[in-house]
Amino acid sequence: MQLHNFNSGPAILPKEVLDQAAAAIHDFNNTGLSILEIGHRTSWFVDVVEEAKATVKRLMNIGEDYEVLFLQGGATMQFMQVPMNLLDENGMAAICDNGVWGNKAVSAAKLFGPVTVVADSSDKKHTYIKKDLELPAGTRYLHITTNNTVEGTQWHQYPQVNVPLIGDMSSDVFCRPTEFKKFDLIYAGAQKNMGAAGVTMVVVKKSLLGKVNRKIPAILDYLKHIEAGSLLNTPPVFSIYVSLLTLRWIEKEGGLVEMEKRNQEKANLLYTTIDAHPAFYCPIEKEDRSIMNAVFFLTDPTKEAAFLALCKQHGMIGVKGYRTVGGIRVSMYNALPLSSVQAFCDLMNDFS
């Protein structure tokens, strides 16, 4: 049976990326060695890191004032590494809490300095994005989650602010051309839209750093990682390589313009189908719906188990909603083909 992989993360990767990664496990670039067996300071691997950084910069269309890092600890570590490097008792972090991940960013930042939650969409169960933000005096930076993976909302137009903007782009980086330059720091765990688990990309403006009144352990200090070229200690060599293969694939397929075209087509098809059938409903404000993760429900919740069983029977993987949200979640990252969304919509039509 053909499987359709709608996993929210770790998630689907392009078949050719998997083939290339598998080949490199046996023989990396005709070295006769596995990618798992080479030193991270060899020119072979330094070339991998440099090409990955350069590709990120090309895709984001950002200049020399930005640095690209490949770190460990997941996006979850960025929830604390960002405030550790940027916030102290003299400043204020403004954070948008639009769901599970933004909420965790708030809790972690509070350990390092004052925090103001400038938007909280829990009044409507996080089914929308609150966009009129009032930043308190002394705001050091504004943190947003560009795509709320669990709740199914996405910022389609970033807030216009006069403080540094920080974006958790874990689940929508490289899904479309976007104003990356509006951000002073972007981070993304690789396992959703750009590779395998184990590496987190951080893109940061160097001018933002070195200003807090605190000693920072070297391993958590962005400046130390920049000085060391992402090779402060042993990095996740294989995960970085899989990200490079995925970044190459994005460019080869036509870059972010092409990714957006495909992602928009998939999302349009799915949301149109949901809206067409009274058996299903999507509670998310239309203008805030995510093109990466669609969250929706069965109008009659007693039918949900039957629908999920039907999905399983037809090879639809990973469509059960997040444990605290319930319902259905269909993740449509870059590598997911339109044919999988079509197959899912056919199933919805039949069920309906």
Which residues have a catalytic role annotated? 101, 168, 192
What is the C-alpha R_g of the chain? 21
Nearer of residues 73 and 315 to ligand PLP, judged by Cβ: 73
Q: What is the dihedral of CA 193, 182, 145, 238, to 10 degrees?
A: 30
Q: How far is the CB of 341 from ligand PLP (least distance, A)?
A: 20
Q: How far is the CB of 149 from ligand PLP (least distance, A)?
A: 3
Tokens of 273: 């189908």
Nearer of residues 38 and 294 to ligand PLP, judged by Cβ: 294
Find the DSSP H helices in 40-192. 43-60, 74-86, 100-109
Query: Quick check: 248 and 55 in contact, CB under 8 A?
Result: yes
Q: How far is the CB of 171 from ligand PLP (least distance, A)?
A: 4
Nearer of residues 38 and 71 to ligand PLP, judged by Cβ: 71
123 Rama sector, left if φ>0, alpha if ψ -120 to 50, beta otherwise: alpha
Query: Quick check: 81 and 222 in contact, CB under 8 A?
Result: yes
Q: How far is the CB of 318 from ligand PLP (least distance, A)?
A: 13
Cis peptide bond N-terminal to 164, omega within 30:
no
Query: Quick check: 291 and 336 in contact, CB under 8 A?
Result: no
The identity of residue 33, as a single letter, is: L
Nearer of residues 46 and 197 to ligand PLP, judged by Cβ: 197
Q: Taking CB positions, which residue lies at the least distance from ligand PLP? A: 74
Q: How far is the CB of 98 from ligand PLP (least distance, A)?
A: 10
Residue from 19, 47, 15 nearest 31 by CA: 47
Q: What angle do CA 222, 228, 231 make, to 5 degrees?
A: 100
Nearer of residues 168 and 184 to ligand PLP, judged by Cβ: 168
83/212 Cα distance (integer angstroms): 9
> Which residues contact ligand PLP by CB under 6 A?
9, 74-76, 101, 145, 149, 168, 170-171, 189, 192
